[in-house]
């Protein structure tokens, strides 16, 4: 028996790892060794408790976390971890649905839509239904559909009392019908289908319930309703569920996460084993004290207090700048100083609440020759050229994938215009066929029909030609026969895109290596489920910049949290929302706990946002951190700040004919409204008025007969 992996665990960690066969809730604070506990628990179950590797299922949210678990596990145990059910919710559901596609009512070749694909399919459905996209924004419908699916509801189960929600439900039904015709599933559908499959099919359900004696869940606070129900179904009555999470780090309510699942779990599973991991191995005491004090301001917590054996460390540095510009200058100065003193840039992170804040910082860093890396932006499999290439592959695998058809039917251009596509779409709709089948059996007449015929020929020849080839060669040939390679070769800025296409071949080869038995569908699913790295590597030692959300799970020696102002952090949109500020506070908690040694909190009293100067108050979160932990270093400010050119009273001095922003007004035609913005002065003065009935309009004050109104 091997137990060396148990050494070094603290008593709570050890207790969690060696729990008996019963469901347990592990409240794992930031930096408390959560991943280690999870993987060691699995190792211990297999090695000391004689559980088969196939009797364990472990679920994570990100591929990164799943991969990390697999890597650590294979380092601990001499077993082949491939084939174990360790993966993301979506990855495991995909696996389940591939294995039982018939029972789930799906073609074996079903493809997976990402958010973009989902939206474009939805737009098509809405256009076919003649729905006004102004009145019913597709994005909103998409949100509605995903929300319903995550609540476990199909269209016919959705109640609707008014025409608006009835329309939503109708679109939902139509959208699902179209997905079924095309043999495609969106992300939420993967989960819902898998849930329905198990709940309707007793044999299958019992099989998996019996098989997975242990179910381990990472980031439990991030699970949504459907994920929780799915886990509950799989656990049945006999399995032990080991749920690891931190309610204080729940920052994804906006995408459906339900922290309440932790309490429900505790109650519904009659949890006897509730373990808190509060010892932190990451940060110094002052940082943890700040985090603890801040999060105390939230209600309804499960309760937890982080501590460290490492001592208090440095005080938290706080800096209030006059302008966002000065704030950025301060940060860059400090970064340069730290770098001179020997801190690697890669160990320093700048965290911000929203992406819009990165621009100014980048500008300043660039001007000062500080290499940096911004997380976020397009990911590999989301790139246009990659999507095009994969659309060809999709079409060879699943002819009914209309998204794929539409994406490549005229790319590269083959003289098939919007007109022709529309004709085919109408025929397809009327005959209930996919675009591919309509192209084959009911091609348009005349020249358009000939062009469509040529496209059909291209795909058919391509399919035949690549059928016997291994995955990588399939794609290689496809790039030539589709004309994609030639297209990007001819394109003036096509070099990067060509390189990415070659990178796609590498990705395919890696996939073949990792999943030797995998087919085209598996590779396509992989591409949908794992969109890849956010950005190509740049300089080796670069400052890290990202949103606080993106920083979750990461840690850095030095962390700057910037823009600590009311309206920005907490974000103004959150203030009205139910538990909105609570979630922002948790976000701040996550930000603080990223720092190992040194933490900077910065803010600016005035800031350019969307071209307008805004005057913000310091964030309430600054006040919620005990003053004794903060070291204000504003002296630098006076030296760093050039006299500001912005006069706070400037906006009020403009001649706006006596009107001002925020005022209620009345218009003879548009009715009543509120002035939301102004520009120009005197004769040129224009104001933007958000009318109660007529929406937002820009009006010239010298022409519009605008009158002040009482509210």
Question: 342: annotated binding-site residue?
Answer: no
**Number of other CB atoms surrounding residue 695 within 10 Å:** 11
Question: 582: annotated binding-site residue?
Answer: no
Q: Does 356 bind DNA (CB under 7 A)?
A: yes
What's the closest the beta carbon of residue 94 comes to DNA, in angstroms? 8
Between the alpha carbon of residue 48 and those of residues 10, 275, 624, the distances in Å are 19, 21, 46
Say if residue 118 is exposed, middle or buried (CB neighbours under 10 Å; 0-12, 13-18, 19+).
buried
E strands, 361-405, where? 372-374
DSSP code per residue over 78-104: SS--TTSEEEEHHHHHHHHHHHTTTTT
Q: Which of 603, 606, 595 is nearest to 621 (CA)?
A: 603
**Number of other CB atoms surrounding residue 259 within 10 Å:** 27
Question: 30: annotated binding-site residue?
Answer: yes
- Closest CB to DNA among 187 and 405? 187
What's the closest the beta carbon of residue 88 comes to DNA, in angstroms? 4
Q: Does 218 bind DNA (CB under 7 A)?
A: no
The span of 314-322, 343-351, 607-615, 637-645 binding DNA (CB under 7 A) equals: 607-615
Annotation marks residue 457 as catalytic: no
Q: Which of 127, 210, 255, 457 binds DNA (CB under 7 A)?
A: 255
**Residue 631, H or E segment:** strand 630-632
Q: Which of 5, 44, 61, 589 binds DNA (CB under 7 A)?
A: 61
Options 35, 62, 509, 608, the catalytic residue: 35
What's the closest the beta carbon of residue 122 comes to DNA, in angstroms? 11
Question: 34: annotated binding-site residue?
Answer: yes
Between the alpha carbon of residue 393 and those of residues 389, 404, 481, the distances in Å are 7, 9, 12
Q: Does 261 bind DNA (CB under 7 A)?
A: no
What's the closest the beta carbon of residue 273 comes to DNA, in angstroms? 28
Restricting to residues 373-392, which ones interact with DNA according to CB under 7 A?
376
Annotation marks residue 624 as catalytic: no
d(CA 375, CA 202): 45
What's the closest the beta carbon of residue 125 comes to DNA, in angstroms? 14
604 DSSP β-pair partners: 321
**Number of other CB atoms surrounding residue 316 within 10 Å:** 23
Strands 372-374 and 543-547: parallel
- Closest CB to DNA among 122 and 155? 122
What's the closest the beta carbon of residue 11 comes to DNA, in angstroms? 33
**Rama region for 141: left / alpha / beta (φ>0; ψ in -120 to 50; rest):** alpha
Q: Which of 23, 40, 88, 616 binds DNA (CB under 7 A)?
A: 88
E strands, 218-308, where? 240-245, 273-277
d(CA 464, CA 364): 55
The span of 304-312, 569-577, 588-596, 659-667 binding DNA (CB under 7 A) equals: 569-577
The span of 83-91, 176-184, 264-272, 557-565 binding DNA (CB under 7 A) equals: 83-91
- Closest CB to DNA among 575 and 628? 575
Q: Does 547 bind DNA (CB under 7 A)?
A: yes
Restricting to residues 397-456, which ones interact with DNA according to CB under 7 A?
410, 413, 415-420
User: Which residue pairs from 427-434 have beta carbons closer than 8 angstroms and sit at least 24 positions apart in sequence?
Assistant: 428/402, 429/128, 432/181, 434/181, 434/182, 434/399, 434/400, 434/401, 434/402, 434/405
Q: Which of 508, 505, 504, 537 is nearest to 522 (CA)?
A: 508
Contact status, residue 26 vs residue 277, Cβ threshold 8 Å: yes
Q: Does 521 bind DNA (CB under 7 A)?
A: no
Q: Which of 108, 461, 573, 644 binds DNA (CB under 7 A)?
A: 573
The span of 7-15, 18-26, 177-185, 547-555 binding DNA (CB under 7 A) equals: 547-555
- Closest CB to DNA among 291 and 587? 587
Q: Which of 287, 307, 359, 336 is nearest to 545 (CA)?
A: 359
The span of 1-9, 157-165, 494-502, 578-586 binding DNA (CB under 7 A) equals: 578-586
Q: Which of 221, 574, 602, 606 binds DNA (CB under 7 A)?
A: 574
What's the closest the beta carbon of residue 140 comes to DNA, in angstroms? 10
Q: Which of 8, 22, 52, 64 binds DNA (CB under 7 A)?
A: 64
- Closest CB to DNA among 378 and 431? 378
- Closest CB to DNA among 60 and 396? 60
Q: Which of 371, 366, 374, 364 is nearest to 330 (CA)?
A: 364
Q: Does 571 bind DNA (CB under 7 A)?
A: yes
The span of 37-45, 233-241, 252-260, 657-665 binding DNA (CB under 7 A) equals: 252-260
Annotation marks residue 34 as catalytic: yes
Q: Which of 31, 33, 256, 673 binds DNA (CB under 7 A)?
A: 256
605 DSSP β-pair partners: none
The span of 88-96, 209-217, 259-267, 270-278 binding DNA (CB under 7 A) equals: 88-96
For the chain, report the end-to-end CA distance as a whole number of angstroms. Answer: 77
Q: Which of 172, 175, 187, 487 binds DNA (CB under 7 A)?
A: 187
Options 176, 218, 334, 530, the catalytic residue: 218
- Closest CB to DNA among 573 and 646? 573
Options 34, 451, 585, 586, the catalytic residue: 34
Contact status, residue 331 vs residue 562, Cβ threshold 8 Å: yes
User: Which residue pairs from 422-428 have beta carbons closer than 8 angstroms and sit at least 24 positions apart in sequence?
Assistant: 423/448, 424/452, 425/124, 425/128, 428/402
The span of 37-45, 343-351, 434-442, 572-580 binding DNA (CB under 7 A) equals: 572-580
Options 117, 176, 219, 583, the catalytic residue: 219
Q: Which of 54, 254, 307, 650 binds DNA (CB under 7 A)?
A: 254
244 DSSP β-pair partners: 26
Annotation marks residue 219 as catalytic: yes
Q: Does 79 bind DNA (CB under 7 A)?
A: no
**Number of other CB atoms surrounding residue 445 within 10 Å:** 9
Between the alpha carbon of residue 406 and those of residues 69, 118, 120, the distances in Å are 39, 13, 10
- Closest CB to DNA among 34 and 571? 571
Q: DSSP H helical segments within 49-152, as ranges? A: 63-76, 89-99, 115-128, 138-150
d(CA 12, CA 18): 10
Q: Does 690 bind DNA (CB under 7 A)?
A: no
What's the closest the beta carbon of residue 624 comes to DNA, in angstroms? 17
Question: 28: annotated binding-site residue?
Answer: yes
Options 229, 249, 396, 544, the catalytic residue: 249
Q: Does 550 bind DNA (CB under 7 A)?
A: yes
Length of the chain equals 711
Options 276, 394, 474, 594, the catalytic residue: 594
Catalytic residues: 34-35, 218-219, 249, 594
Please give the residue ranges that form the binding site for DNA (CB under 7 A). 61-64, 88-91, 114-115, 123, 187, 251-252, 254-256, 353-356, 376, 410, 413, 415-420, 529-531, 534, 546-547, 549-550, 571, 573-574, 577, 580, 583-584, 587, 608, 610-611, 696
Binding residues for ATP: 28-35
């Amino acid at each position: 028996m091997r137990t060396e992996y148990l050494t070094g665990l603290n008593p709570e960690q050890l207790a969690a790892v060696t729990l008996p066969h019963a469901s347990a809730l592990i409240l794992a604070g930031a930096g408390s060794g959560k991943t280690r506990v999870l993987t060691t628990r699995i190792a211990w179950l297999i090695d000391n408790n004689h559980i088969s590797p196939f009797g364990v299922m472990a679920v994570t949210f990100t591929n990164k976390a799943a991969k990390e678990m697999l890597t650590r596990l294979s380092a601990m145990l001499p077993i082949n971890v491939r084939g174990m059910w360790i993966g993301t919710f979506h990855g495991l559901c995909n696996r389940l649905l591939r294995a039982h596609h018939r029972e789930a009512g799906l073609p074996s070749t079903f493809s997976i839509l990402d958010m973009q694909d989902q939206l474009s399919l939805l737009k098509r459905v809405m256009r076919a239904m003649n729905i006004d996209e102004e009145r019913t924004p597709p994005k909103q419908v998409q949100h509605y559909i995903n929300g319903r699916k995550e609540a476990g509801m199909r269209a016919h189960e959705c109640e609707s009392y008014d025409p608006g929600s009835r329309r939503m439900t109708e679109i939902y039904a139509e959208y699902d019908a179209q997905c079924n015709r095309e043999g495609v599933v969106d992300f939420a559908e993967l989960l819902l289908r898998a849930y329905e499959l198990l709940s309707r099919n007793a044999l299958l359900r019992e099989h998996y319930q019996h098989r997975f004696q242990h179910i381990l869940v990472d980031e439990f606070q991030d699970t949504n309703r459907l994920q929780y129900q799915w886990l509950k179904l799989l656990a049945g009555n006999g399995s032990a569920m080991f749920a690891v999470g931190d309610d204080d780090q729940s920052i994804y309510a906006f995408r459906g996460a339900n922290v309440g699942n932790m309490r429900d779990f505790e109650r519904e599973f009659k949890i006897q084993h509730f373990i808190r991991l509060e010892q932190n191995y990451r940060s110094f005491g002052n940082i943890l004290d700040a985090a603890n004090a801040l999060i105390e301001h939230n209600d309804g917590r499960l309760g937890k207090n982080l501590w460290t054996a490492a001592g208090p460390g440095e005080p938290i540095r706080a800096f209030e700048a006059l302008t966002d510009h000065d704030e950025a200058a301060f940060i860059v100065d400090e970064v340069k100083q730290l770098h001179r003193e020997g801190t690697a840039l890669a160990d320093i992170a700048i965290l911000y609440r929203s992406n819009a804040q990165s621009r100014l910082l980048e500008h300043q860093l660039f001007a000062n020759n500080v290499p940096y890396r911004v997380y976020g932006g397009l990911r590999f499999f989301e790139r246009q050229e990659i999507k095009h290439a994969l659309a060809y592959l999709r079409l060879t695998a699943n002819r009914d994938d209309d998204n794929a058809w539409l994406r490549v039917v005229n790319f590269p251009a083959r003289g098939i215009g919007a007109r022709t596509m529309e004709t085919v779409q109408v025929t397809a709709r009327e005959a209930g066929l996919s675009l591919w089948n309509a192209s084959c059996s009911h091609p348009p007449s005349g020249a358009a029909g000939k062009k469509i015929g040529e496209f059909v020929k291209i795909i058919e020849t391509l399919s035949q030609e690549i059928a016997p080839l291994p995955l990588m060669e399939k794609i290689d040939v496809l790039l030539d026969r589709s004309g994609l390679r030639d297209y990007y070769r001819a394109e003036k800025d096509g070099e990067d895109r060509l390189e990415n296409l070659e990178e796609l071949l590498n990705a395919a080869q890696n996939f073949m290596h990792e999943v030797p038995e995998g087919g085209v569908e598996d590779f396509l699913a992989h591409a949908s489920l794992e969109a890849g790295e956010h950005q190509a590597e740049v300089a080796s030692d670069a400052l890290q910049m990202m949103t606080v959300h993106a920083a979750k799970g990461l840690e850095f020696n030095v962390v700057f949290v910037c823009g600590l102002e009311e309206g920005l952090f907490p974000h103004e949109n959150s203030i009205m929302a139910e538990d909105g500020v609570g979630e922002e506070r948790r976000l701040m908690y996550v930000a603080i706990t990223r720092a190992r040694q040194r933490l900077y909190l910065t803010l600016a009293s005035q800031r350019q946002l969307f071209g307008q100067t805004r005057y913000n108050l310091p964030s309430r979160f600054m006040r919620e951190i005990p003053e004794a932990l903060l070291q204000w270093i504003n002296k630098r400010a006076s030296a760093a700040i050039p006299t500001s050119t912005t006069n706070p009273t400037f906006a009020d001095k403009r001649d706006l004919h006596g009107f001002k922003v925020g005022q209620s007004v009345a218009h003879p035609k548009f009715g009543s409204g509120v002035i939301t913005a102004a520009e120009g002065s005197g004769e040129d003065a224009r104001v933007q008025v958000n009318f109660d009935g007529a929406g937002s309009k820009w009006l010239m004050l010298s022409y519009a007969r605008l009158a002040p109104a009482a509210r």
